[in-house]
Amino acid sequence: MGQARSVADSAISKASWRIIPLLGLGYLCSYLDRLNVSFAATQMNVDLGFSATVYGLGGGFFFLTYALLEIPSGMVMPRYGARRWIVRIMISWGLISAAMMFVRTPMQFYVMRLLLGAAEAGFWPTCIYYLSSWYPAAHRGRAVSRFYCFYGVTGIVGGTLSAWLLGMDGIAGLRGWQWVFLLEGLPTVLLGIAMFWLLPDGPETARWLTDDERDWIVTELAAENARLSAGKRPHVLHALKDPRVLQLAAIACLTIGGSMGFALIAPQVLMTGTGWDIQHVGYLISCGGLMTVIGMLASGWHSDRLGSRFGHLFIGMLLVAACYAVMGHADSPAMLIAGYLAMTLLWPAVTLCTNLVTTEVVPCRMVAVAVATTNTLAQLGAFVVPVLWGINKDSTGSYHFGLTLIPLLFIASAGIALHLRQQIRRRELATAPAIAVA
């Protein structure tokens, strides 16, 4: 027993040190390259004469093509392998992100955001699939949370870096917003090339694992998939009509739609509410990123320790809704800042546990399509909310409508989560033992 645990700990430790930092850096780049437009907009919208509606449409268009191509990407990926697919995605989106510096008209802005979304589609589900092919369920929460915490690192790095790059305004004849796109896009290309050589295809080809460590990972995952499949071998597309996956997709649509809608205009909302300049707001967003890292690691560790995903998911939704309500009705900069920082700390429990539940209700071979399904509806939500927010901003001159709407989205998600938990419990009682998702 002691030797088996030692082998397991060694295998998980090696995988964590060799895989998660690389994937995490890729995830950092993905969020940096999709949300740097929120900082660039503080200059770009003025330079190019973009209204809030134009910016809202462009910001949302990324999520439209991302959503439309997410499931096809998840279906094509197994043909080429997760490693090659991640490399292809990163190189293409890095080049397009850097080329955003050449945008001059609303139509060019729309087209480039559509292309960026198309290029990045499939990255997140491919990474989750890749991690699921390395980590058994008992270790997956901590693994995914460590990968996911790079989202928070994006806030730490992106807030300060983007504000600093905006300060390069005029160097080499380029505006600050052009430097933001160029110097945050090209490193993605270089990282994608490096991943081709540094990431193994799977445990079977990892030279840094011993035979015992490799056998332990393969055996654990095989047993887990056998339990989930219940003697059957369903086609991966069955995930598209699994009611549990569809309910998780609805949760993702509402919560991601709200959070991404806010993220795209966060610098502008915080500048207006605090009266600070972009540099100081950048520092605040960096602090929010640090809070997200703390919240992500704590959620992954605690949900693994308790074997509970739904408790974190449900309570997290209600608390995040309360934070957005505080921000929407803040009558002082201190109240706005407190609501923002609390939201960044609590949000990880929602998004992490949504994805963890998805990986634990279907066999491993269906994970990529299941996660792509939830992510597709999530990105459709992220398309709709910024568009509505931009139109309302031009009509009313305020972002108050959006901050009032978001709490309602999270409360509705909490109701869906309760129904889903009851459904899964009934299924567990009616069938043979499966992996617990409680």
Tokens of 27: 């995830």
Q: How far is CA 320 from the centre of its chain?
A: 16
For helices 310-328 and 400-430, angle between their N-to-C axes, nearest 10 degrees:
170
Question: Which pLDDT score is estimated for 417?
Answer: 92
pLDDT in tens, 277-295: 888 888 898 898 889 888 8
Question: Which pLDDT score is estimated for 79?
Answer: 84
Question: Which pLDDT score is estimated for 283?
Answer: 87
Q: At residue 167, what are phi and psi to the nearest 5 degrees?
A: -75, -10
Residue 214 inside a domain? The answer is no
pLDDT in tens, 94-121: 999 999 999 999 999 999 999 999 999 8
Which residues form the domain of 322? 16-199+235-430
First and final C-alpha spacing in the chain: 26
Q: What's the per-residue H, E or C state across the chain? A: CHHHHHHHHHHHHHHHHHCHHHHHHHHHHHHHHHHHHHHHHHHHHHHHCCCHHHHHHHHHHHHHHHHHHHHHHHHHHHHHCHHHHHHHHHHHHHHHHHHHHHCCCHHHHHHHHHHHHHHHCCHHHHHHHHHHCCCCHHHHHHHHHHHHHHHHHHHHHHHHHHHHHHCCCCHHHCCHHHHHHHHHHHHHHHHHHHHHHHCCCCHHHCCCCCHHHHHHHHHHHHHHHHHHHCCCCCCHHHHHHCHHHHHHHHHHHHHHHHHHHHHCCHHHHHHHHHCCCHHHHHHHHHHHHHHHHHHHHHHHHHHHHHCCCHHHHHHHHHHHHHHHHHHHCCCCHHHHHHHHHHHHHHHHHHHHHHHHHHHHCCCHHHHHHHHHHHHHHHHHHHHHHHHHHHHHHHHHCCCHHHHHHHHHHHHHHHHHHHHHHHHHHHHHHHCCCCCCCC
Is the confidence at residue 231, as pLDDT, over 60? no
Residue 215 inside a domain? The answer is no
Residue 208 inside a domain? The answer is no
Which single residue is written with the structure tokens 């299941």?
370
Residue 3 inside a domain? The answer is no
pLDDT in tens, 361-410: 776 667 767 777 787 788 788 888 878 877 887 888 777 777 888 999 99
pLDDT band of 255, cuts 50, 70, 90: very high
Of residues 304 and 127, which shows the higher confidence score? 127
pLDDT in tens, 318-329: 999 999 999 988
pLDDT in tens, 55-66: 988 988 988 898
Question: Which pLDDT score is estimated for 185?
Answer: 93
Closest to 239 measured CA to CA, from 135, 360, 417: 360
Closest to 312 measured CA to CA, from 163, 320, 167: 320
Question: Which pLDDT score is estimated for 415?
Answer: 94
pLDDT in tens, 156-208: 887 788 888 998 999 999 999 999 999 999 999 999 999 999 999 888 888 88
Residue 217 inside a domain? The answer is no
Q: What's this model's pTM, rounded to 2 decimal places?
A: 0.72
pLDDT in tens, 311-359: 888 999 999 999 999 998 888 999 999 999 999 999 988 988 887 888 7
Question: Which pLDDT score is estimated for 2?
Answer: 56
Q: Tally the domains of the chain.
A: 1
Residue 436 inside a domain? The answer is no
The CATH number assigned to the domain holding 353 equals 1.20.1250.20
Question: Which pLDDT score is estimated for 237?
Answer: 61
Residues 16, 143: Cα–Cα separation, whole Å? 7
Question: Which pLDDT score is estimated for 433?
Answer: 47
Question: Which pLDDT score is estimated for 228?
Answer: 59
- Mean pLDDT, range 130-134, rounded to an integer: 87
Q: At residue 170, what are phi and psi to the nearest 5 degrees?
A: 100, -20
Closest to 127 measured CA to CA, from 303, 360, 368: 368
Residue 180 inside a domain? The answer is yes
Question: Which pLDDT score is estimated for 34?
Answer: 78
Residues 352, 349: Cα–Cα separation, whole Å? 5
For residue 104, give every residue at least 6 positions away whose Cβ sits within 8 Å of its Cβ, in sequence order, or none: 48
Tokens of 219: 């055996």
Closest to 241 measured CA to CA, from 391, 84, 370: 370
Residue 7 inside a domain? The answer is no
